[in-house]
Homo-oligomer: A and B are copies of this chain.
């Protein structure tokens, strides 16, 4: 039996996550049968479940992968930038798949208390990255200073969730969205001197 390097294992894992993300998005959690996961990843169930204990673990890995990527982008560029990128990529296969995963997360949070508990830490990491970045922006003097950071952070998260839901539902996205994002950004910034 040939030895498999860590790089190869990682690449295989990533390949499974990509296929699984598309599969969950297209068919929902329940509809993503093992057979469909095989088709979408191009791998056997043996190969898939060598890397992930079960479908539950695979779904959670997809969602956690997305959350980690989002924390990194928020820390670097802020939540409004995440929204601008999401809007720019709306309608591409990747984004459609990712939006589907987000809706599945929302649904499972409602219907599955064990999942909700495991998910809470991921959700808090995104919130924390948002607050950290806002704090740095306030120190830099670009943020309005009449509203507490947690309120601004919650406002941004609310608009972000709204954008996710909008893009997940609407094809094509509304033409006003670019201006809406400008409005959201202006709402958290220090108003220009008159």
Contact = CB atoms under 8 A, between A and B. Distances in A.
A28 B176 contact: no
Q: Give the interface SS of chain A, mostly helix, strand, loop or mixed.
A: helix
Contact of A166 (B147, B148, B161, B166): B161
A103 interface: yes
The quantity of this chain's copies bound in the complex is 2
Interface size class of chain A, counting residues whose CB lies under 8 Å from the partner chain: 35 or more
Contact of A165 (B111, B148, B153, B162): B162
A24 B15 CA distance: 35
Interface in A130-175: 147-148, 150-155, 157-166, 168-169, 174
A9 interface: no
Given A168-B110, A194-B194, A163 B158 contact: yes
